[in-house]
Amino acid sequence: MELLRIATAGSVDDGKSTLIGRLLFDSKAIEDDVLSAAESVSRRQSNEYLNLALLTDGLRAEREQGITIDVAYRYFGTAQRKFILADTPGHVQYTRNMVTGASTADVALIIVDARNGVVEQSLRHAVIAALLGIRHVVVCINKMDLVDFSEEVFATIKRQFETFLDDLKVDCAHFVPVSALIGDNVVEPSERMPWYTDGPLLRHLEQLEIGRTPADDALRLPVQYVIRPLKGEYHDYRGYAGSIRSGVVRVGQQIGILPQGKTSRITAIETPDGEADEAAWPTAVTVRIKDDIDISRGDLICAADGVPRVSKSFDATVCWMSESKDLTQGSMLRIKHTTRTGRAMITALHSRIDVATLSAETGCNALKLNEIGRVSIKTSLPIVYDDYTVNRVTGSFILIDEATNETVAAGMIGKPAFGNFDSED
């Protein structure tokens, strides 16, 4: 099975880090010395159990406060597959770090405290996961030991969450009742929940089919830079270096070059392994083309059929991530989209998305930290894009504050897959 990228999500104290610790511990992905270090700290803190969160909370401040502040990446494997796991924070304050961890994930692992059921933060994370185009959601209903392993509690929360995920148009949802603390249904099946027969969490993750990958989509190759070796034998060499962000490139293939609106043919492909006739997502390549066309960083090589759009204005959904400034109509920012960097102006703030009801609240004047909104953007340079729901690379961008250089927004071009945002047109 192919590599699976997982991002965890859930409210604070739902036991995310403990669940990850349990997953790593029970799948024997923790080395002996790392484990004994955690055990001795746990003993010093007089914990009744080994504090599994000590295995993932890597910062001093996190261990002091017993919370996760920033995303931690873990790498582990079983005989079936290799995993990259982004353990993301639950606090509303750190939602932007959750966005960081989830932006590259295939699966969102949402943890819910069985005692509290679905809370606003679980919904917020589900919305962000859906916005980011994560098609697979696994909901772990945790702390089942504290609700007497009740099937009814599980069923109620599942029903509630399922309705919400349906509204979010997430079609691949899976629910597991777990106790991260004592290890039920994480790696080993639970003897205390015989009513649950779908198997433990790890087995589901091992068997999960990602489905469609970017290799199946149309060719998108943003040019990172032009290689012109200034040495004898390569006098006329002009190679366009970039990563294939979707699709396949072949020698002889007819390509489009945007925003120039020119066409040409691929004459040579250099991959990390040397010359090749063909290369596919996610390979970093250098291509050469038949015609002498002015191409530089920020331009896009694409399939001649099925070309993206080119425009200096578009609508998008943004997650606002600045603590110090709000997003308002008229905000001037830098934009980075594929390999192109320019300036952007927010020409309209249409609405703020209410994460509980998924409705668009119109008439708001500003987006604050961690709020999600619908905007119109005008850019200084033409942007070559697809809708985010079609292509996660050509549909995404970040906004950067010109004064502080901070990354202040994650943006997705076009409309979200869920909700009704027709009124803004």
Question: For residues 19 and 72, which CB has a smaller minimum distance to other proteins in the complex?
Answer: 72
Distance in angstroms (rounded) separating the CA atoms of residues 200 and 187: 6
From candidates 43, 47, 61, 330, binder to other proteins by CB under 8 A: 61
Instruction: Confirm or reject binding of residue 31 to other proteins (CB under 8 A).
Output: yes
Indicate which single residue of 13, 39, 42, 58 sits in contact with other proteins (rule: CB under 8 A). Answer: 58
Does 3 engage in binding with other proteins (CB under 8 A)?
yes
The enclosing H or E element of 177 equals: strand 172-177
73 binds other proteins (CB under 8 A): yes
294-313: contacts with other proteins (CB under 8 A): 297
Helix axes 151-167, 120-131, angle to 10 degrees: 40
Q: Pick the closest to residue 208 from 391, 21, 3 (CA basis).
A: 3
Which residue number, 112 or 301, has a Cβ lying nearer to other proteins? 301
Q: Which residue, 361 or 402, has its beta carbon nearer to other proteins? A: 402
Q: How far apart are CA 239 and CA 323, in angstroms?
A: 42
215 binds other proteins (CB under 8 A): no
- Beta carbon nearer to other proteins, 204 or 336: 336
Alpha carbons 157 and 154: distance in angstroms, whole number: 5
Question: How many CB atoms are located within 10 Å of the residue 205 CB?
Answer: 24
Contacts to other proteins from residues 219-278, by CB under 8 A: 224-225, 227-231, 234, 237, 239, 241-243, 270, 272-273
User: Is 353 among the residues that bind other proteins (CB under 8 A)?
Assistant: no
Q: Which is nearer to other proteins, 143 or 322 (CB)?
A: 322
User: Residue 77, interface with other proteins (CB under 8 A)?
Assistant: yes
Q: Would you count residue 29 as binding other proteins (CB under 8 A)?
A: yes
Restricting to residues 8-27, which ones interact with other proteins according to CB under 8 A? 24, 27
Taking the complex as a whole, how short is the minimal distance between the CB of residue 2 and other proteins, in angstroms? 7
Neighbours of 406 (CB within 10 A): 15
| Range 151-180, binding other proteins (CB under 8 A) | none
**Which of 65-73, 111-119, 258-266, 303-311 is the region at the interface with other proteins (rule: CB under 8 A)?**
65-73
**DSSP run (H or E) holding 174:** strand 172-177
| Residue 189 DSSP label | P
34 binds other proteins (CB under 8 A): yes
CB burial of residue 206 (10 Å; 0-12, 13-18, 19+):
middle
Among 16, 74, 124, 135, the residue binding other proteins under the rule CB under 8 A is: 74
Per CB under 8 A, 385 contacts other proteins:
no
**Conformation bin of residue 214: beta by default, left when phi > 0, alpha when psi is -120 to 50:** alpha
| Least Cβ distance, residue 20 to other proteins (angstroms) | 11
Residue 147, CA distances (Å) to 46, 65, 119, 177, 251 in order:
25, 26, 17, 11, 61
Return the number of the residue (227 or 345) whose C-beta is nearest other proteins.
227
The span from the CA of 238 to the CA of 386, in Å, is: 28
Contact pick of 2, 171, 188, 198 for other proteins (by CB under 8 A):
2
Using CB under 8 A as the binding rule, the residues of this chain from 95 to 134 that contact other proteins are 96-97, 99-100, 103-104
Q: Where are the alpha helices (DSSP H) in 103-225?
A: 120-131, 151-167, 201-207
113 residue type, one letter: D
Which is nearer to other proteins, 32 or 294 (by Cβ)? Answer: 32
- Is residue 405 near other proteins by the rule CB under 8 A? yes
Positive/negative CA dihedral, 191, 196, 25, 19: negative
In DSSP terms, which residues pair with 375 in a beta bridge? 316, 349
The pairing of strands 340-353 and 327-328 is unpaired
93 versus 156: smaller Cβ distance to other proteins: 93
Q: What are phi and psi of 2, to 5 degrees?
A: -75, 165
Rounded to whole angstroms, the maximal C-alpha distance in the chain is: 76
* Shortest distance (Å) from residue 398 CB to other proteins: 5
Stretch touching other proteins by CB under 8 A, among 172-180, 198-206, 336-344, 413-421: 336-344
Question: Measuring CA to CA, which residue among 95, 10, 7 is closest to residue 371?
Answer: 95
Whether a cis peptide bond, with omega within 30° of 0, leads into 177 is no
Rounded to the nearest whole angstrom, what is the least distance from the CB of residue 333 to other proteins in the complex?
Answer: 11
Host H or E run for residue 288: strand 284-289
Site size toward other proteins (CB under 8 A) is 77
Q: How far is the CB of 213 from other proteins (least distance, A)?
A: 11
| Shortest distance, position 217 Cβ to other proteins, whole Å | 16
Asked whether position 370 contacts other proteins by CB under 8 A, the answer is: no
